[in-house]
Amino acid sequence: MVYLDYAASTPVSSEALHVFEQLCNDCYGNANSLHDAGGRANEVLTYCRQSLATLLDGEPDGIYFTSGGTESNILAIQSIMNGLPAHKRHVITTKMEHPSVHYAFHSLAHHGVKITIIEPNQAGIITPDILEKALLPETGLVSIQHANSETGIIQPLATLAPLLKKRQILFHTDAVQTFGKIHVSIKDLGVDALSISSHKVYAPKGAGAVYMGRSVPWKPVYTGAVQESGFRPGTVNVPCIGAFIAASEQAISQVDMQHQQDGDLRRYFLQQIKERQLSIRTLDDDAVRQILPHIIGCFFEGFEGQYVMLACNRQGIYLSTGSACASGYHHPSPAVKALHLSDRDALQFIRISFGRMTSKEDIDQLLHTFVDLQKEKKGED
């Protein structure tokens, strides 16, 4: 098996699995219980909160654990809007966001909140000028992803934040794809709230977190909830959270090394597609934009992305496509279309994403399959 879909989900590391098993066996009390077993679970949570706050360059009382990235985005956005005054009923997001962000905003629209969805420039970047044109006196919240999971394009949040601070507009970011891959600091980014997820950093699925700055006047989505200071209801999943933090600590400690490994693989792939004369165009870093090193967005001329994905799947190679299927209708991804591409070009998009176990041999197997596909297209033996 050649797994090249780490941006979608990662395997669980041995360290995270060990912590998960240990907590399942030794720390199964409810963290809200008043007896000693509950106290031990609460001690683990307290450590996890402190550790994650340190990793994010924030404060422990700003950490709220969730079930994953989707819930983190939805609860963060809706909780913030619940706490804003009545005259702040306008929100802004982008065309490239994760579906969970669009779901949260769609839900707000049903409650009379005005929604503005902005598009990036030709390079896929939201610039201060683009954002400023969308701001209104009643704007209360802006949500812009840190980096896109399909294209890997990183948004310059630190250059956008001062524009919002000046107008006392709250700033949320979906950092699910960047946490553990590059440096993510609440202070450096200038955001008020941030969402992350466990299964992108080699931890089990089922955990995530929201960071809320102390100045954010959020109010619960679920009234009466007591877990996580009222942020969400439900028994706190201590074993999964413990594994999440163990994996996060490991990912952050290795981030520079992994960044170098991903960069080497990226350069090798780009070099090889030229040497093998493959009809593949890639999104890449330039003076205008930066892209996460572990994600390569490609356009394979003459092939739809889903055809390439399925052809690779038959060879035991797993990657993904930026397109989506709904009710039998095949259509290009909004994130890819936001790059101002035609439907034809957008449907050719595929995503390759690296991880810890990715090797040059994996890349060679992928390239060999690409070569065979191109020969097949040209009618060669």
Q: Active-site positions?
A: 325
Say if residues 66 and 209 touch (Cβ distance below 8 Å): yes
The strand pair at 280-282 and 295-300 is best described as antiparallel
